[in-house]
Protein backbone atom coordinates (compact mmCIF):
# COMPACT_ATOMS: atom_id res chain seq x y z
CA UNK A 1 0.00 0.00 0.00
CA UNK A 2 1.27 3.51 -0.76
CA UNK A 3 2.59 5.60 2.09
CA UNK A 4 2.15 9.31 2.70
CA UNK A 5 5.50 9.89 0.96
CA UNK A 6 4.23 8.37 -2.30
CA UNK A 7 3.25 11.50 -4.17
CA UNK A 8 1.60 11.47 -7.60
CA UNK A 9 5.00 12.05 -9.21
CA UNK A 10 6.61 9.10 -7.42
CA UNK A 11 3.73 6.74 -8.16
CA UNK A 12 3.70 7.69 -11.85
CA UNK A 13 7.46 7.31 -12.17
CA UNK A 14 7.39 3.94 -10.40
CA UNK A 15 4.45 2.70 -12.50
CA UNK A 16 5.23 4.09 -15.95
CA UNK A 17 8.77 5.37 -15.72
CA UNK A 18 7.84 8.95 -16.59
CA UNK A 19 6.87 12.23 -14.96
CA UNK A 20 4.13 14.04 -16.91
CA UNK A 21 4.99 17.67 -17.59
CA UNK A 22 3.36 20.66 -19.28
CA UNK A 23 4.58 19.26 -22.63
CA UNK A 24 3.03 15.81 -22.26
CA UNK A 25 0.30 14.85 -24.74
CA UNK A 26 -1.86 11.74 -24.87
CA UNK A 27 -3.13 9.77 -27.84
CA UNK A 28 -5.22 6.76 -28.85
CA UNK A 29 -4.29 4.63 -31.83
CA UNK A 30 -5.39 1.37 -33.42
CA UNK A 31 -2.70 -0.96 -34.76
CA UNK A 32 -3.60 -3.54 -37.41
CA UNK A 33 -1.57 -6.66 -36.64
CA UNK A 34 -1.75 -7.92 -40.24
CA UNK A 35 -1.02 -4.76 -42.24
CA UNK A 36 1.16 -3.15 -39.52
CA UNK A 37 -0.69 0.12 -40.12
CA UNK A 38 -1.39 2.44 -37.18
CA UNK A 39 -4.29 4.90 -37.23
CA UNK A 40 -5.08 7.75 -34.84
CA UNK A 41 -8.47 7.36 -33.21
CA UNK A 42 -8.75 11.06 -32.37
CA UNK A 43 -8.80 13.65 -35.14
CA UNK A 44 -6.24 15.86 -33.42
CA UNK A 45 -3.72 13.06 -32.81
CA UNK A 46 -1.86 13.64 -29.55
CA UNK A 47 -3.54 16.22 -27.29
CA UNK A 48 -3.06 17.72 -23.84
CA UNK A 49 -4.51 16.45 -20.57
CA UNK A 50 -7.52 18.73 -20.14
CA UNK A 51 -8.66 18.09 -23.73
CA UNK A 52 -7.89 14.37 -23.69
CA UNK A 53 -9.74 13.11 -20.61
CA UNK A 54 -13.20 14.24 -21.84
CA UNK A 55 -12.67 11.88 -24.81
CA UNK A 56 -11.82 8.79 -22.75
CA UNK A 57 -15.42 7.61 -22.54
CA UNK A 58 -15.76 7.76 -26.33
CA UNK A 59 -12.45 5.91 -26.68
CA UNK A 60 -13.54 3.05 -24.41
CA UNK A 61 -17.05 2.93 -25.88
CA UNK A 62 -15.64 2.51 -29.39
CA UNK A 63 -13.18 -0.12 -28.19
CA UNK A 64 -15.95 -2.22 -26.64
CA UNK A 65 -18.42 -1.85 -29.49
CA UNK A 66 -16.38 -1.45 -32.67
CA UNK A 67 -13.00 -3.08 -32.13
CA UNK A 68 -12.47 -6.55 -33.65
CA UNK A 69 -9.93 -9.35 -33.86
CA UNK A 70 -6.65 -8.60 -35.60
CA UNK A 71 -6.10 -5.22 -33.97
CA UNK A 72 -4.63 -3.68 -30.86
CA UNK A 73 -5.85 -0.41 -29.38
CA UNK A 74 -3.13 1.66 -27.72
CA UNK A 75 -3.39 4.45 -25.18
CA UNK A 76 -0.07 6.30 -25.11
CA UNK A 77 1.74 9.41 -23.98
CA UNK A 78 4.28 11.52 -25.82
CA UNK A 79 6.47 14.31 -24.50
CA UNK A 80 9.84 16.01 -24.72
CA UNK A 81 12.61 14.10 -22.95
CA UNK A 82 13.80 15.71 -19.70
CA UNK A 83 17.17 16.24 -21.39
CA UNK A 84 15.44 18.21 -24.15
CA UNK A 85 17.10 16.18 -26.91
CA UNK A 86 14.14 14.44 -28.47
CA UNK A 87 10.65 13.03 -28.07
CA UNK A 88 9.67 10.12 -25.82
CA UNK A 89 6.58 8.04 -26.57
CA UNK A 90 5.33 5.01 -24.66
CA UNK A 91 2.15 2.97 -24.30
CA UNK A 92 0.25 3.36 -21.04
CA UNK A 93 -2.03 0.45 -21.95
CA UNK A 94 -2.62 -2.00 -24.81
CA UNK A 95 -6.12 -3.39 -25.36
CA UNK A 96 -6.34 -6.57 -27.40
CA UNK A 97 -8.90 -6.77 -30.19
CA UNK A 98 -11.87 -9.09 -29.94
CA UNK A 99 -15.32 -9.41 -31.49
CA UNK A 100 -16.71 -10.47 -28.10
CA UNK A 101 -17.74 -7.44 -26.03
CA UNK A 102 -18.08 -9.29 -22.74
CA UNK A 103 -14.66 -10.84 -23.25
CA UNK A 104 -13.16 -7.37 -23.60
CA UNK A 105 -14.95 -6.18 -20.47
CA UNK A 106 -13.72 -9.12 -18.39
CA UNK A 107 -10.16 -8.93 -19.69
CA UNK A 108 -9.69 -5.20 -19.16
CA UNK A 109 -11.39 -4.18 -15.92
CA UNK A 110 -8.15 -3.97 -13.94
CA UNK A 111 -6.37 -2.07 -16.71
CA UNK A 112 -9.24 0.40 -17.02
CA UNK A 113 -9.21 1.06 -13.27
CA UNK A 114 -5.47 1.65 -13.44
CA UNK A 115 -5.89 4.13 -16.30
CA UNK A 116 -8.69 6.01 -14.50
CA UNK A 117 -6.62 6.36 -11.32
CA UNK A 118 -3.55 7.28 -13.36
CA UNK A 119 -5.20 10.29 -14.98
CA UNK A 120 -6.47 11.42 -11.58
CA UNK A 121 -2.87 11.31 -10.36
CA UNK A 122 -1.71 13.30 -13.39
CA UNK A 123 -4.23 16.03 -12.59
CA UNK A 124 -2.98 16.04 -9.01
CA UNK A 125 0.47 17.00 -10.24
CA UNK A 126 -0.98 20.39 -11.16
CA UNK A 127 -3.75 21.03 -8.61
CA UNK A 128 -4.45 20.37 -4.95
CA UNK A 129 -7.74 20.35 -3.06
CA UNK A 130 -7.74 23.50 -0.95
CA UNK A 131 -7.82 23.45 2.82
CA UNK A 132 -9.04 26.86 3.95
CA UNK A 133 -7.21 26.54 7.27
CA UNK A 134 -3.87 25.91 5.54
CA UNK A 135 -4.14 27.72 2.20
CA UNK A 136 -5.75 30.98 3.32
CA UNK A 137 -3.56 33.22 1.15
CA UNK A 138 -3.73 31.20 -2.08
CA UNK A 139 -6.23 31.75 -4.88
CA UNK A 140 -8.98 29.14 -4.71
CA UNK A 141 -10.80 27.99 -7.84
CA UNK A 142 -13.83 25.83 -7.06
CA UNK A 143 -12.06 24.32 -4.06
CA UNK A 144 -8.64 23.80 -5.68
CA UNK A 145 -5.34 25.65 -5.71
CA UNK A 146 -2.31 25.40 -7.99
CA UNK A 147 0.37 22.90 -7.08
CA UNK A 148 3.35 25.24 -7.03
CA UNK A 149 5.74 22.34 -7.68
CA UNK A 150 4.43 21.77 -11.22
CA UNK A 151 3.29 24.28 -13.82
CA UNK A 152 0.58 23.44 -16.32
CA UNK A 153 0.57 24.73 -19.91
CA UNK A 154 1.24 28.38 -20.61
CA UNK A 155 -1.88 30.01 -22.02
CA UNK A 156 -4.30 27.59 -20.30
CA UNK A 157 -6.09 29.11 -17.32
CA UNK A 158 -6.15 27.30 -14.01
CA UNK A 159 -9.95 27.49 -14.12
CA UNK A 160 -9.95 25.49 -17.36
CA UNK A 161 -7.78 22.80 -15.75
CA UNK A 162 -9.95 22.63 -12.62
CA UNK A 163 -13.19 22.41 -14.61
CA UNK A 164 -11.72 19.61 -16.71
CA UNK A 165 -10.68 17.73 -13.56
CA UNK A 166 -14.10 18.12 -11.94
CA UNK A 167 -15.78 16.87 -15.14
CA UNK A 168 -13.38 13.92 -15.22
CA UNK A 169 -14.17 12.94 -11.63
CA UNK A 170 -17.93 13.56 -11.71
CA UNK A 171 -18.82 12.49 -15.25
CA UNK A 172 -16.10 10.70 -17.20
CA UNK A 173 -15.05 8.17 -14.56
CA UNK A 174 -18.62 7.08 -13.64
CA UNK A 175 -19.54 6.62 -17.32
CA UNK A 176 -16.47 4.48 -18.02
CA UNK A 177 -17.02 2.38 -14.90
CA UNK A 178 -20.59 1.78 -16.05
CA UNK A 179 -19.31 0.64 -19.47
CA UNK A 180 -17.07 -1.96 -17.85
CA UNK A 181 -19.54 -2.90 -15.11
CA UNK A 182 -17.21 -1.68 -12.37
CA UNK A 183 -18.48 -0.72 -8.93
CA UNK A 184 -18.55 3.07 -8.44
CA UNK A 185 -16.25 2.92 -5.39
CA UNK A 186 -13.72 0.45 -6.80
CA UNK A 187 -10.17 1.68 -7.42
CA UNK A 188 -6.99 0.21 -8.81
CA UNK A 189 -4.89 -2.01 -6.56
CA UNK A 190 -1.78 -1.07 -8.55
CA UNK A 191 -2.16 2.72 -8.71
CA UNK A 192 -3.50 4.37 -5.58
CA UNK A 193 -4.60 8.00 -5.46
CA UNK A 194 -3.28 10.01 -2.53
CA UNK A 195 -5.94 12.57 -1.57
CA UNK A 196 -3.73 14.48 0.86
CA UNK A 197 -4.02 18.26 0.72
CA UNK A 198 -0.29 18.66 1.36
CA UNK A 199 1.23 16.78 -1.55
CA UNK A 200 4.86 17.49 -2.36
CA UNK A 201 5.51 16.71 -6.01
Is the pLDDT at 194 greater than 50? The verdict is yes
Chain Cα centroid distance, residue 113: 10
Q: Mean per-residue pLDDT for 184-195?
A: 66
Q: Report the run of H or E that residue 129 belongs to, with start and end.
A: strand 127-129
DSSP 8-state secondary structure symbol assigned to residue 182: -
Q: What pLDDT is attached to residue 132?
A: 55
Query: What does the pLDDT look like over 67-100, one tens digit per residue?
Result: 778 899 999 998 876 666 667 778 899 999 998 9
Tell the burial category of 75 from Cβ atoms under 10 Å away from its Cβ (0-12, 13-18, 19+).
buried
Average pLDDT, the chain: 84
- pLDDT tens for each residue of 18-75: 788 888 999 999 999 989 998 888 766 899 999 999 999 999 999 999 877 889 999 9
The confidence band for 187, taking pLDDT boundaries of 50, 70 and 90, is confident
Map out the domains of the chain as residue ranges: 8-179
User: What does residue 182 show for φ and ψ, rounded to 5 degrees?
Assistant: -105, 135
Cα 118 to its chain centre, rounded Å, is 5
Q: Does residue 153 register a pLDDT over 50?
A: yes
Tell which residue, 3, 24, 175, has the closest CA to residue 90.
Answer: 24
Number of Cβ atoms within 10 Å of the Cβ of 171: 12
Amino acid sequence: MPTKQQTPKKILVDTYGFHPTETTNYMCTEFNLETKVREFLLDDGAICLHEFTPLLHEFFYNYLNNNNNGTETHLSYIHIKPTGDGILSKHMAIFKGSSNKQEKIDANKDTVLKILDTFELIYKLFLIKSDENINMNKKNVKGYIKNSSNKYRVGISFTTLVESYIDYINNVIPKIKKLFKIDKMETSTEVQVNNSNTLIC
